[in-house]
Structure 1
Amino acid sequence: MTHLDRDLPGGGAPAALTLSPDILGQFMPLFLWLDKRGRIRAMGPTLTKILGTEAIGTAYARHFVLRRARGHAPEGDPIGKARRIAVNLLRHPGFNLRGTAIEIVTGGGGGEDGTDTLVNLSFGIHLSEAVRFFGLTETDFAASDLAIEFLFMSEAKAAVLNELQALTRRLEDARRAAQNEALSDALTGLANRRAFDAALDRALKVLGRGGRRFALLHLDLDFFKQVNDTLGHAAGDAVLVQAAKVLSDETRRGDLVARVGGDEFMMILRGPINAERVEGFAKRLISRLEEPILHESELCRVSASIGAVIVGEKAGHDAVGLLAAADAALYASKHAGRGRCTVSEA
């Protein structure tokens, strides 16, 4: 039993208060009772859950490291001035505890009184981590301890913030998906006409600021209508998908490939550009596109005609004029017998 003496106001007789460790534990679940040799006589239920009952009777120093102690106990004061302390748990060094230590008069063995130390500890800023790590609940804290209320508020706030962040991520993902869908061709996954127009405008702006020249290519599949008419639209779709794959394989990361019509594709080629490079690139495309495509045991055969315009550094280029030039080059390839490329400069 813990025995506390205090002088009554006005100089009356001392009042005695006797508390058992069980009663102390209800008020201070993290209390620590040390005898004058530093051994643990009793602990609050929450501290017992952390250290284990086997810690009772052992030296305080086996479980704690004193980090800081402020204040002192004046001689002749049975309670003494409260000392603020900070300790670390030896087995769990990541947790710092803070508290208040006071000296108390206790009934010693053989009817003799002694002076022990009573320490009331708390986790302070490490409360939320301690709750999770040690599996603590509301019942492990005093009913008057507002720290647990703040913890609930903090965790409720964190839960709301997490949900808002998750909602924001979902909305952002949905926005990006909608944007990609708005700028992508549903069948082939290539850029669509809208995305191509925007890319061409950007390329012209970069060129106007001193950027490198680029090539604009207009590709049309030859004999595609025959595939659709004889083998059906499913076969035509298979041809378009394969054509898109070929164009993507042959272009570089900085280039753009777009499907702008039924069997029409536009390309913007960046980097070092000249007529020889464009012609070689076009020949590879045509050769690959002429490879038969197997669809449901039927072979689909197409070719391609290409019109290319090399856009130089001179001023005054506009998208409408360049598209018209690429169309003219494409029709020149068609009229020359298809399966070829015509290159012009602008």
Structure 2
Amino acid sequence: MTQTDNLAAMLDIMCPLSISVDQDGRIRRVGPTLQKLRPDEPMPGRLLFDFFEIRRPRNNSNLARVLTQPGERLDLRFLDAPRTELKGVVAPSPDGEGAVINLSFGISVLDAVRDYSLTSADFPVTDLTIEMLYLVEAKSAAMEASRKLNLRLRGAMIAAEEQAFTDTLTGLRNRRALDVMVQRLIDSRTRFSLMQLDLDFFKQVNDTLGHAAGDHVLQCIAEIMHEETRESDIIARVGGDEFVIVLNGLVEKHRLSMIARKLISRISKPIPYGGAKCRVSASIGTVRAPETGFVDIDLILHQADLALYAAKRSGRATHVFYSSDMDDRQAPMGAPVRPARVELDRPARRKRS
């Protein structure tokens, strides 16, 4: 092996990103890592300008002079994509017929590793790039583990929150969820209406057919309410046989009346259970959130409760809108009250078989 061959072998080991050029800029030898960046384009015999744009020094018209300056710094960039940038330093050949340019990726090393699938074998063992790559890999592994852990924790938190906000029997929202969701509507100044629905004669179902029949009735009622409302609406079970429906953005009385009548009509139909038929009906009180002025969730629920109380007093299976004069007629069920002037939505009664 000649001295030239020995020098080339040494450069391949210690400077795999180096390139040797003659005084005219023609490539004589290229390091294995640098050639790996353009595996389908052999560089030896080609001009430096066939592959690279010289960005520094800016005035590089006299390349021969640049190549004779020991320690001259070069900034190169590939002409074709990916346009990787390289930094280099010039070491003139002892024979004065060219130079060796030792290159590095600088801060673009991570992009280069990604773009060219480089490994530790493509760098000198003494290059600090190897240490940095190890750190980057360790950091990436730690971040990925942290991301997966955060996803699991978030999933567990969402599941726990969903469970805390859900009525286990019907799958509807519970009172806690209702408070949170209605408060969001209030805070965002969104108009809405709230229906409070109470089942009539539900106790008789439990007393005569048992609690399993009562649970079945509640689940059927929940399904009916889902079918008669929109996905954007909120349905909550707030008591044994008490429900609240929050209709997001809906305040028109004729549409609210239509929804209430459909609910009352469907709920009034017998619900089969085993060989028996469970018969209940529904009374509904509705309040529309005011367009202006103070809105409070407890006040809205209280007003809906007054409207529901009026519906019960008016014969059950009835829908009543809240009106401000109801505030003066609060009384516990069974206590004598003066007759209330209420607006009724009562579907035509059907004869029960």
Structure 1 and Structure 2 fold alike (TM over 0.5): yes
Give the TM-score range, shorter chain: 0.7 to 0.9
CA gap of 1:317–1:79, structure 2 versus 1, over 3 A, is closer
Q: Contact conserved, 1:188 with 1:244, CA < 8 A, in 2?
A: yes
- Matches of 1:105 and 1:231, distance apart in 2: 106
Q: Contact conserved, 1:85 with 1:101, CA < 8 A, in 2?
A: yes
Deviations 1:244-291 (A, max 9, x none): 343344445664321112321013345464655543331122123345
Q: Which runs of 5+ in 2 are unaligned?
A: 325-353
Structure richer in strand, relative to its length: 1
- Matches of 2:50 and 2:213, distance apart in 1: 77
Q: 1:56 Cα shift?
A: 5.1
- Matches of 2:122 and 2:171, distance apart in 1: 58
Q: Which runs of 5+ in 1 are unaligned?
A: 4-17, 107-113
Structure 2 residue 178 is the aligned partner of structure 1 residue 191:
no
Structure 2 residue 136 is the aligned partner of structure 1 residue 154:
yes
Q: Which residue of 2 aligns with 1:308?
A: 286
Structure 2 residue 260 is the aligned partner of structure 1 residue 282:
yes
Structure 2 residue 98 is the aligned partner of structure 1 residue 120:
no
- Matches of 2:153 and 2:85, distance apart in 1: 41
Report the TM-score when normalising by structure 1. 0.73
Structure 2 residue 42 is the aligned partner of structure 1 residue 55:
yes
1:103 to 89, 92, 96: 92
Aligned AA for 2:265?
S
CA gap of 1:278–1:345, structure 2 versus 1, over 3 A, is farther
- Matches of 1:227 and 1:181, distance apart in 2: 28
Q: For residue 316 of structure 2, give the secondary structure of its aligned residue in structure 1.
A: coil
Q: Contact conserved, 1:212 with 1:272, CA < 8 A, in 2?
A: no
Aligned AA for 2:316?
R
Q: Which residue of 1 aligns with 2:161?
A: 179
Q: For residue 246 of structure 1, give the secondary structure of its aligned residue in structure 2.
A: helix
Report the TM-score when normalising by structure 2. 0.71
Overall identity of the aligned pairs, in %: 41
Q: Across the two proteins, how many residue pairs are aligned to each other?
A: 320
- Matches of 2:136 and 2:209, distance apart in 1: 66
Q: Which residue of 1 aligns with 2:112?
A: 130
CA gap of 1:43–1:172, structure 2 versus 1, over 3 A, is same
Q: Which residue of 2 aligns with 1:31?
A: 18
- Matches of 1:169 and 1:341, distance apart in 2: 46
CA gap of 1:220–1:42, structure 2 versus 1, over 3 A, is same
Q: Which residue of 2 aligns with 1:44?
A: 31
Aligned AA for 1:339?
A
Q: Which residue of 2 aligns with 1:20?
A: 7
Aligned AA for 2:35?
T
Q: Contact conserved, 1:222 with 1:302, CA < 8 A, in 2?
A: yes
Q: 1:58 Cα shift?
A: 2.6
Q: 1:235 Cα shift?
A: 5.6
Deviations 1:142-172 (A, max 9, x none): 1221122122223322332343344334333
Aligned AA for 1:45?
P
Q: 1:115 Cα shift?
A: 0.7
Aligned AA for 1:181?
Q
CA gap of 1:73–1:63, structure 2 versus 1, over 3 A, is closer
Aligned alpha-carbon RMSD (Å): 4.0
